[in-house]
Structure 1
Amino acid sequence: MMANGDSPTYLNYVRGKWMRSHTGEVEASINPANGREVVGFVQNSALPDLDEAVQAAADAQKAWKRLAGSVRGDYLFKAAAILERRLDEVATAMTKEMGKTFAEAKGETARGIAILRYYAGEGMRPVGDVIPSTDSEALMFTTRVPLGVVGIITPWNFPVAIPLWKMAPALVYGNTVVIKPASETGVTCAKLIKCFEEAGFPPGVINMVTGSGSVIGRGIAEHPGIHGLSFTGSNAVGKTIGQAALARGAKYQLEMGGKNPVIVAADADLNLAVEATISGGLRSTGQKCTATSRVIVHQDVYEPFKQLLLDRIGQIKIGDGMMDDVWMGPCASERQHDTVLAYIRKGIEEGARLLCGGGHPQGRGYAEGYFIEPTIFENVTSDMTIAREEIFGPVLVLMKVESMEQAVQLANDVEFGLSASIFTSNIGAMLGFIQEIDAGLVRINAESAGVELQAPFGGMKHSSSHSREQGRAAIEFFTAVKTVFVKS
């Protein structure tokens, strides 16, 4: 880190050293609650910076993979302890860069600590099986080997949890890492990397290069020295990266968008359904890939559900996420703010009825930030843009149905299949929903957003490359199976 006026400049981390990029250029990270405040500057890197990072990772990988899994796990335990000591510092950076409330940022950082400890324990867990051989005098078994150098590309919406749920398993299974975080949250990522540095990770095992997706992100996808690629972000970018990785035979993992439904049955607990809809759809300003977007409500309870929802949304306090009484912060950037407003205008143009919100809030403290009011539409049909495309903002669309069969059909009528939830007390309806819904994450009487770190996570259809992250499932991506036959 170096001073740049009143705001610090954060460097790339390559081969155990903090380094300026070859371009000499930096990019400002802006506080979305106050567009005039610069949180810090991060490097706007070029391909030579990426080449150096990949070479550093390649040079370090052979010695790293030879360490016992338990020893690699010990490094992660140390990093977890350091991150725990720095929890408030990292959470503050997250709120100032991304805009989510400080309480949410602290919760995410605590989750990151738990992720590190979970995967630290992976160093002592089985990595293969003994398989009976047809030769009675032979031993046959499987083991797992790391991919080598892994490239990691992460988004701005979860700047601690997503980097760690990719980096931690990659590292404990013997890979070395080159990470490109979103520039919007490059300061937060640099603070994470500092924890790994202080934990004593050998030089080159972890490398961070910041820069544009079109240069560094695409460079990771196309680099011949990167053997595996894990990406979370938009569908458009993910498909491009996947095609580039496929073209050169690299293993890749893509987690992309969602248009996640909540179904409210006629027998639902409406208070529970409303609270979960608001939490799942509007926390983090709706900027979660698992956020509730479509609310599909049985006609028998549509009006009381709608009224409860509107009453509850009217109580939400919007503002700077560092303020104690704020429930919802700003959009993460001016670009995201403008994108969400464009979707709202599109909804109105296509004939949806705006029930509340729909614009930038008025009043003191809002003018300089990228705030948007919680927004609800009704009279939404399945062919409308706001019912089909991921908005990634605080926008909910209400859709009325006559039956649960119609509800599930409507829920499945999009290209995405990440998460989905239903509120009902009927066991048959629950089981039918589990069976019929096209989603990788299914939740019953709970919000659509949220996955536990020890459980597999990933989507169906266009939400994913059909691989899974987190939990024990991570070993399937970050390693390859080796079958061994031994005869004396």
Structure 2
Amino acid sequence: MTIQTQAAIYSNYINGEWISSPSARLEASVNPANKNEVVGYFQQSTIEDLNHAVQAAKDSKKSWSRLSGAARGDYLYKAANILEKRLDEIAEIMTREMGKTLPEAKGETARGIAILRYYAGEGMRKVGDVIPSTDSGALMFTTRAPLGVVGVIAPWNFPVAIPIWKMAPALIYGNTVVLKPASEAAVTAAKVIECFHDAGFPAGVVNMVTGSGSVIGQGIVDHPDINGITFTGSNSTGKRVGQGALARGAKYQLEMGGKNPVIIAKDADLDLAVEGTISGGLRSTGQKCTATSRVFVEAEVYESFKEKLLAKVKEIKVGHGLESETWMGPCVSESQLNTVLSYIEKGKEEGAALLFGGNKCTDKGLEDGFFVQPTVFDNVNLNMTIAREEIFGPVLAIIKVDRFEEAIEMANDTEYGLSASVYTKDIGKILAFINEIEAGLVRVNAETAGVELQAPFGGMKQSSSHSREQGQAAIEFFTSIKTVFVKA
């Protein structure tokens, strides 16, 4: 690796200050489109660093929770305005650090701004209800109490939106926060935290500690002074987070994987279905928990759909995310690239037919990046690994079905239940799909990927801990109901 000494070093953010870890261990964050470019250096922090951050959050939680919701909202509005001014800078950093295209990065940063403003407004909304008492001389009502200190364990695939959609509701409802960003997006996270710092948040209310999941992530799970943990990531890690939190009585929220299906009915608008399948499955290099993975197509339109799909997939331009003509960027890391390639090999070994792609990109200008071709399989059955396990890459598995009802049954044959979509003009099929599909996010004539910030988001089965993020549903996790009885 060519070390670039001009790349900035990003410290932990603790108690309102940027603080270097005594460990002095730095790790380079490299550009997945060019592994020779160092985007910045972040710290491999220690448990002592985490303890310092948690103590700061603990010390500030009482004064922060005593502020009115409107006052807390003012801080979020300020952070949103600063983030808006820095949108282009942060989007470019995101593209260079984790690979998504610049338009996607700009869209995600704009979404982070909107989330902050949405939750700033939550500070002026009701937090309880008056309940009739059997005692005519008493007043009974509910209010909400914050959890206290919230640990946020965020992934790399949405390095602005996901940390913000966890931190913003935690903060507006009176909690203080310790963020552990993914190492693959630590520089982007630091840029976001700079916006909170410059908005003037009181010291200790927002903290960030970078480092490994085995040290900092596990430390958040085990820490006795962290009252709630919100996690997005893999199922295996999420289960460890949940088990650890449960063992010590901390509240936890898990958003994990998906094996998301799209059903193409024989009466579907095939051009629209192809567009949605490609966007849902291959945009962001398939690195979304809501990405389309399994494509169930009724036999009558199977060949026509496949032909249209392949024609469009072959037009996809793979390249550096900062280049205007690029439609799909690299995998986030060499490890993720190798994981995707291993699943493609498994698909071929198990008898699926590779229709397109399946290889690492070696074109001139791409040889130093973690690029993989968009990949399409057919002749896939539900026993194959590529039909059962989350790949988190640009791989589509097309499956022919004889009947619409069969498609729903097969779509539900998975341990996951995050998102699902259907393309049809038949209202009966639409209603059947809505009622019978086992997924937390259901989309009709639209791609599986796509979450609106004001709506609850979360999965069924093994895709989540059965709580919901975003929208007004977020209050359910970040607060506890307090029932009050007042007797004159």
- TM-score with structure 1 setting the length: 0.99
Unpaired runs of 5+ in structure 2?
none
| Deviation (angstroms), 1:22 | 2.5
| Deviation (angstroms), 1:23 | 1.2
- C-alpha distance after superposition, 1:285-341 (max 9, x if no partner): 000000000000000000000000000011111000000110000000110000000
- Tell me the distance in 1 between the aligned counterparts of 2:218 and 2:22: 18
Could you tell me which amino acid in structure 2 is paired with residue 318 of structure 1?
V
Alignment correspondent of 1:467: 467
Query: Which stretches of structure 1, 4 residues or more, deviate above 6 A after TM superposition?
Result: none
- State the secondary structure of the residue aligned to 1:300: helix
Could you tell me which amino acid in structure 2 is paired with residue 55 of structure 1?
Q
Superposed, 1:289-368 pairs within 5 Å as 289-368=289-368
- Tell me the distance in 1 between the aligned counterparts of 2:288 and 2:168: 21
Alignment of 1:46 with 2:46, yes or no, is yes
Alignment correspondent of 2:95: 95
Alignment of 1:84 with 2:84, yes or no, is yes
- C-alpha distance after superposition, 1:351-396 (max 9, x if no partner): 0000000001232111000000000000000000000000000000
- Tell me the distance in 1 between the aligned counterparts of 2:301 and 2:22: 61
Alignment correspondent of 1:259: 259
- Tell me the distance in 1 between the aligned counterparts of 2:278 and 2:359: 18
Alignment of 1:448 with 2:448, yes or no, is yes
Alignment correspondent of 2:127: 127
Superposed, 1:39-438 pairs within 5 Å as 39-438=39-438
- Tell me the distance in 2 between the aligned counterparts of 1:256 and 1:174: 26
User: Are the equivalent residues in 1 in contact too, given 2:4–2:37 (CA < 8 A)?
Assistant: no
Could you tell me which amino acid in structure 2 is paired with residue 357 of structure 1?
G
Superposed, 1:469-488 pairs within 5 Å as 469-488=469-488
Could you tell me which amino acid in structure 2 is paired with residue 221 of structure 1?
V
- Tell me the distance in 2 between the aligned counterparts of 1:283 and 1:52: 39
| Deviation (angstroms), 1:26 | 1.0
- Tell me the distance in 2 between the aligned counterparts of 1:310 and 1:284: 18
- State the secondary structure of the residue aligned to 2:336: helix
- C-alpha distance after superposition, 1:14-53 (max 9, x if no partner): 0000011121101110100001111000010010000000
What is the root-mean-square deviation in Å for CA atoms of aligned residues?
0.8
- State the secondary structure of the residue aligned to 1:376: strand
Could you tell me which amino acid in structure 2 is paired with residue 328 of structure 1?
M
Could you tell me which amino acid in structure 1 is paired with residue 354 of structure 2?
L
- Tell me the distance in 1 between the aligned counterparts of 2:22 and 2:220: 17
Could you tell me which amino acid in structure 2 is paired with residue 393 of structure 1?
G
- Tell me the distance in 1 between the aligned counterparts of 2:361 and 2:220: 40
User: Are the equivalent residues in 1 in contact too, given 2:4–2:38 (CA < 8 A)?
Assistant: no
- State the secondary structure of the residue aligned to 1:187: helix
- Tell me the distance in 2 between the aligned counterparts of 1:183 and 1:231: 15
- Tell me the distance in 2 between the aligned counterparts of 1:227 and 1:444: 38
- C-alpha distance after superposition, 1:415-437 (max 9, x if no partner): 00000000000000000001100
User: Are the equivalent residues in 1 in contact too, given 2:264–2:423 (CA < 8 A)?
Assistant: yes
Could you tell me which amino acid in structure 2 is paired with residue 76 of structure 1?
L
- Tell me the distance in 2 between the aligned counterparts of 1:324 and 1:419: 30
Alignment correspondent of 1:7: 7
- Tell me the distance in 2 between the aligned counterparts of 1:203 and 1:155: 25
| Deviation (angstroms), 1:4 | 7.6
User: Are the equivalent residues in 1 in contact too, given 2:130–2:141 (CA < 8 A)?
Assistant: yes
- State the secondary structure of the residue aligned to 1:262: strand
- C-alpha distance after superposition, 1:244-277 (max 9, x if no partner): 0000000000000000000000000000000000
- Tell me the distance in 1 between the aligned counterparts of 2:71 and 2:427: 47
- Tell me the distance in 2 between the aligned counterparts of 1:452 and 1:279: 16
